[in-house]
Structure 1
Amino acid sequence: MCRLNALTSNASQLRKLLNRLSAFAPQWAASARATDGASLGSGSLLDGAWRWRRLATWFEQTTAGREPSELEAELRHLAKRRLKLVADLVAAKAWTAVVARIDDPTQRALGAYKIANALAQQRYSRFAPMYQRQLRAALDECRHAVPVWIMPVERVLADFRCESKPPFNILIVDEASQIPLTRLPVLGLAERVIIVGDDKQMSPATSWIELQPTFDLLNTHLDGIPLANTTFHVNSSLYDVALARFPRRVKLTEHFRCLTEIISFSNSRYYRTLVPLRDQLPCPGWVPTQSVLVSDGYRDDDDCNRPEAEYATALIAALIKRPEYAGKTFGVISLLGKNQSKLIHDLLFDRLGPVVMSERRIRVGEPAILQGDERNIIIISTVVSDSANRRIGAMTSRNHQQMINVAASRAQDQLWVLHSVPADAFPQNDERAALIRHCTRVHDATETFDQLENLIDDRSPFERDVLRALTDRGYRTIRPQYAVGRYRIDFVIEGPHTRLALECDGDRFHGPDQWDADRARQEVLERAGWTFVRIRGSGFYRNPTRALQPLWEKLNELDIPTGDWRGSPVPFELDLDLQKSASKTNETQGVTVADNDEAASTQAASTQAHAPSIVPTKNPQADAWGAAFSAADEALRRRSESTDKVDDQSAD
């Protein structure tokens, strides 16, 4: 009877406990009833199992919503849509305001301005001052009808006058580092001025101006202004003056134009704060910088280096034929004088013709000519050579630094430097020598597979586990802790033409307070062309297969293959037909040149390539033809000037 009472009491207690359990875990309670309690397991494990089930339920409820990758995609879509809506709204409001301002008097003034503008182009007419006054009067009436005027500085100073009130609310002066001090009055044409420039780029050339008379004028007229002789120095640009008088600056550090290997030269020597954001190579095996030693190059009395010019011509002709250079644009920069630029331009024109030069936007000149411009491929000719009776002058001044900086930062995808002497032959601290050494250095930061794990922080087991999942999947072109400017990406998985940024959001380093900073960083890199996938540590450890599925899908979408698709590195080789350039030039002048097998043989341009032995010879007949062409050009120019004068008199 006692045992029966005890069992009855235990059964009653069990029913109460199962009823309580059913309220919170009905499936577990039903399983316990069906198996006579066997499914409950050992009592020592119940507490841990209960806590685990509670945490698992909480996690599933918390993550039951949409996948982070879906939310990221929707966020990007909404951000783009917002930008478009804002741009459309601004444009609509601007055009609405424009239409509202154009009344009948304004329309008449616009018509008068159009006529006066056409007449004002007759600069040599004796009525030109009157036409200019009429143009300014028409502008005073109609300038408010046009919300934005985009004009050269010279045109702005000629057409607008600052009277009782500046004609503009805001004036933006671009490329101010190239604008001379004589254009300083442009600052008086607006209530507020934004000056955009770069003091590390070339300033206006004023070496022909004597300094003492300018100092006398400054002392006479600007005696009360502190540091006037230095602030308003004749060699200063508009940007220099603004920098000295208005110290408030907004510095733009993100660099999108050049590949990292190219802009790193200017960044390390001149800027030090740039954030290069473009490091995706155009194709596998691409070499961003090349240095070519033209061993037989020489500088003649006209400051020309014909072997370097012919090498540059043959190089462009060879590159154009390669499929990886399809659609690429080219530029050639001479670091010494205009004669070398003219020689290279003439050789290219004869070799390629005007159609190809136009299609490839081939431009040849000194650094100042390409300042503010850019090309996919830039070839720099240093011109100078080692000569017993002519030493190499040093390029170490601030002006030389600006010149080399401009030349070295015009190339978007590839920079070539042609030099006839090795870097050690230049004077000490010469900027050209530094550029040659930079382009000679091999830029290869690819780690081997065995080194990958060592690059991961010991405090991040999550990243190690993700790396193991990637390698188990077969991916080998992985870069952990990849640096992009001042930013770092946890993993970059590279493909032949694309790459993927993978971020591992672990709870230890990516708490809620870090989310905004991570989003801002990701937006900057996405503007630079990066594609991101993010993996949450909690989701990865709860269900690795499910957490990694968006990663595998994105890798397949970007055509990033498994395995080491790079293969063995292949040296960069080109077939350069250098003799063709010289032969064609002489053939057009009626001269027969004997074949030179050594010069016409196939040449390989690698990181340190040597030009073949080509020694140009003086040709009296060619010189006579050149003199005849020069005389003809001079006669045509004089005839054109006389015709212009007759036309001006007729217009008067």
Structure 2
Amino acid sequence: MTERQRQALQSYKTNMGAYGRGQGRNKDRYLTAAFEAMKHAQQAVPAWVMPLSAVTDTIPPQPNAFDVVIVDEASQASVDNLFLLWLAPRVIVVGDEKQCAPGANYRNNDSEAVQESLDRHLADMPLSLRNGFLPSSNLYELLASRFSDVVRLSEHFRCMPEIIGWSSAQFYDNRLIPLRQFGADRLDPLRVVHVDDAMEEGQRATLRNPVEANAIIDHVQKIIDDPMCRNKTIGIIALQSGKQTQVLEKMLYERIDPADIRHRHIRVGQPPDFQGDERDIILLSMVVTKAKKALTGRTEQRRYNVAASRARDQLWLFTSVPQASLNPTDLRHSLLTYMLHPPAALTIDPELDDVTPDARAEPFTCLLQQHVFLELRRRGYAVVPHYPVDHRAIDLVVVGDNGRLAVECDTPSRNREPEQVQQQLHRERELRRAGWHFIRIRDSEYLHDPAAALEPLWQQLQQRGIEPRSLPAASRQQPRWRPAPLSDNEDDL
């Protein structure tokens, strides 16, 4: 770094700090100074990370100013941000067409003025591509429709498996692979509260439900007072109507200690406000007391997908509408019925109590797995055989209050080609990267000396603080949940 670059970098930092939120009397002066400093400071830093507004304010509009531009949350970048393609010869666009887009509620996509403007300014472009520049279009969809080299990411690290399970099944054809690490001593991931005697006030944009809002703020205080929720951050999302967020915010600041609001990072908003954000605990307000029309369109799909995937540890749904009054095609019905009867992630099959060491039983693939399973059970550990993860299964998973340990049993009977071995090793490396810890038990060592072969297992369990405990039995009468059919229409409202 040259002396001139060092000075320019410090000048940029100083002027942007003085610019702050852009509300001071001399904001234009500081911004201009930062823009001038950037001309020399840009090459001093290998990678710049900044919001779109800072790019337009401080980066000189020169072609190929960078080697590569990476646009994150591109589904929230409107067509106004196409200038980013001008700044580098290579662009990586990261986004999700299933999440909220800018201008998704724009009512005049098909107005004569919009169509006439597109036809006039983009006359040389085929009509099939021209309509990609509507006010509701976003950078991700625009570029994804023009380039076939799209890499689909499937790993999900934020939410508990039960929480992200609804979005995965409803919007992604069960392609999302939850890799979040957790133990058995955790908050119940999904909870539903039915609010009685609630009444709607207003309609459409002014729709509000004060009784439901009151129940939510009451529960926020309970979360703050609950030792199990110590230091947990909190978010409140109104699924319908911005007016409900105003009611919630007013009650929040009237009744919750400001110190708790700051400490818990409590935020109130609609689904687009939480795009790219997360909280430990999210409380959803369904708002309506009677469903006049099923929500099925793309706008609501995006809103509900975002809202239901912001919670890391626990998701609450407060509803004032009975399940029976919702149309089965309604996204609200889909979310409510899923949360009432979620799939169980940590349960044990009662039939495993009948497993013996001599005859192989399902779901075990070899007797070594059964021997290790039985020895773990004999010592009181909670162990789940054939644990599904990443579209495959781990032989055994030992579950403790604060973590899990994966146990793989290697036997000569597993005849695998070299490619299969490489695939297994690659998969294990990926799971280790996601936080999983593995231990391997070899059949030859176990047959020679069972106690010595299992000693590393007991040491690992002790080191990881995994103590003996029990798991609830799996339900035999779990209601069958199905995702609601989706519509390609842009709007339901």
TM-score range, shorter chain: 0.7 to 0.9
Give the conservation status (yes or no) of the 8 Å contact 1:385–1:392: no
1:160 corresponds, among 55, 59, 66, to 59
Deviation at 1:312, TM superposition (A): 0.7
TM norm structure 1: 0.65
Paired position in structure 2 for 1:403: 303
TM norm structure 2: 0.85
Q: 1:335 to 1:567 in 2, by over 3 A?
A: closer
1:140 aligns with 2:39: yes
Paired position in structure 2 for 1:220: 120
Q: 1:565 to 1:140 in 2, by over 3 A?
A: same
Q: Secondary structure at the match of 2:67?
A: strand
Paired position in structure 2 for 1:280: 182
2:411 corresponds, among 506, 513, 517, to 506
Describe the superposition over 1:177-207 as per-residue Cα deviations: whole angstroms up to 9, x where unpaired: 1111111112111121111111110001251
Report the AA paired with residue 340 of structure 2.
Answer: T
Q: Secondary structure at the match of 1:190?
A: coil
Q: 1:162 to 1:507 in 2, by over 3 A?
A: same
Flag structure 1 segments of 5+ consecutive residues without an equivalent.
1-98, 570-652
Separation in structure 1 between the aligned mates of residue 235 and residue 213 of structure 2, nearest angstrom: 13
- Kindly indicate whether structure 1 or structure 2 has the higher relative contact order, using CA contacts under 8 Å at least 6 residues apart: 2
Describe the superposition over 1:19-64 as per-residue Cα deviations: whole angstroms up to 9, x where unpaired: xxxxxxxxxxxxxxxxxxxxxxxxxxxxxxxxxxxxxxxxxxxxxx
Separation in structure 2 between the aligned mates of residue 256 and residue 545 of structure 1, nearest angstrom: 36
Describe the superposition over 1:587-625 as per-residue Cα deviations: whole angstroms up to 9, x where unpaired: xxxxxxxxxxxxxxxxxxxxxxxxxxxxxxxxxxxxxxx
Paired position in structure 1 for 2:488: none
Q: 1:423 to 1:120 in 2, by over 3 A?
A: closer
Describe the superposition over 1:403-441 as per-residue Cα deviations: whole angstroms up to 9, x where unpaired: 000000001111111111122312341111110111100
1:494 aligns with 2:399: yes
Deviation at 1:541, TM superposition (A): 1.2
Describe the superposition over 1:368-388 as per-residue Cα deviations: whole angstroms up to 9, x where unpaired: 1111100111110000013xx
Separation in structure 2 between the aligned mates of residue 449 and residue 437 of structure 1, nearest angstrom: 26
Deviation at 1:254, TM superposition (A): 0.6
Separation in structure 2 between the aligned mates of residue 410 and residue 317 of structure 1, nearest angstrom: 20
Report the AA paired with residue 72 of structure 2.
Answer: D
Paired position in structure 1 for 2:131: 230
Deviation at 1:465, TM superposition (A): 2.7
Deviation at 1:263, TM superposition (A): 0.3
Range moving further from structure 2, 451-460 or 355-364: 451-460
Report the AA paired with residue 159 of structure 1.
Answer: T
Deviation at 1:478, TM superposition (A): 1.7
Report the AA paired with residue 455 of structure 2.
Answer: Q
2:275 corresponds, among 371, 376, 383, to 371
Give the conservation status (yes or no) of the 8 Å contact 2:183–2:401: no
Deviation at 1:512, TM superposition (A): 7.6
Give the conservation status (yes or no) of the 8 Å contact 2:181–2:436: no
User: Which has more radius of gyration?
Assistant: 1
Give the conservation status (yes or no) of the 8 Å contact 1:456–1:480: no
1:522 corresponds, among 428, 439, 442, to 428
Paired position in structure 1 for 2:216: 312
Separation in structure 1 between the aligned mates of residue 95 and residue 27 of structure 2, nearest angstrom: 37
Flag structure 2 segments of 5+ consecutive residues without an equivalent.
475-493
Report the AA paired with residue 186 of structure 1.
Answer: L
Report the AA paired with residue 291 of structure 1.
Answer: V
Range moving further from structure 2, 272-281 or 426-435: 272-281
1:427 aligns with 2:333: no
Q: Secondary structure at the match of 1:245?
A: coil
Give the conservation status (yes or no) of the 8 Å contact 1:283–1:496: yes
Separation in structure 1 between the aligned mates of residue 169 and residue 432 of structure 2, nearest angstrom: 25
Deviation at 1:467, TM superposition (A): 2.5
Give the conservation status (yes or no) of the 8 Å contact 1:333–1:378: yes
1:151 corresponds, among 16, 33, 50, to 50
Paired position in structure 2 for 1:44: none
Describe the superposition over 1:61-103 as per-residue Cα deviations: whole angstroms up to 9, x where unpaired: xxxxxxxxxxxxxxxxxxxxxxxxxxxxxxxxxxxxxx2xx24
Separation in structure 1 between the aligned mates of residue 334 and residue 361 of structure 2, nearest angstrom: 31
Separation in structure 2 between the aligned mates of residue 202 and residue 462 of structure 1, nearest angstrom: 49
Q: 1:175 to 1:119 in 2, by over 3 A?
A: closer
1:533 corresponds, among 414, 435, 439, to 439
- Paired residues, what number? 459
Deviation at 1:395, TM superposition (A): 1.4
Q: Secondary structure at the match of 1:529?
A: coil
Separation in structure 2 between the aligned mates of residue 463 and residue 212 of structure 1, nearest angstrom: 68
Paired position in structure 1 for 2:197: 296
Q: Secondary structure at the match of 1:503?
A: strand
Deviation at 1:476, TM superposition (A): 5.1
Q: 1:156 to 1:300 in 2, by over 3 A?
A: same
1:188 corresponds, among 75, 83, 86, to 86
2:238 corresponds, among 334, 344, 358, to 334
Paired position in structure 1 for 2:159: 258
Paired position in structure 2 for 1:175: 73
Q: 1:482 to 1:123 in 2, by over 3 A?
A: closer
Paired position in structure 2 for 1:577: none
Paired position in structure 2 for 1:474: 379
Deviation at 1:325, TM superposition (A): 0.9
Report the AA paired with residue 482 of structure 1.
Answer: Y
Separation in structure 1 between the aligned mates of residue 367 and residue 64 of structure 2, nearest angstrom: 63
Aligned CA-pair RMSD: 2.9
Q: Secondary structure at the match of 2:89?
A: strand
Q: 1:184 to 1:458 in 2, by over 3 A?
A: closer
Give the conservation status (yes or no) of the 8 Å contact 1:384–1:392: no
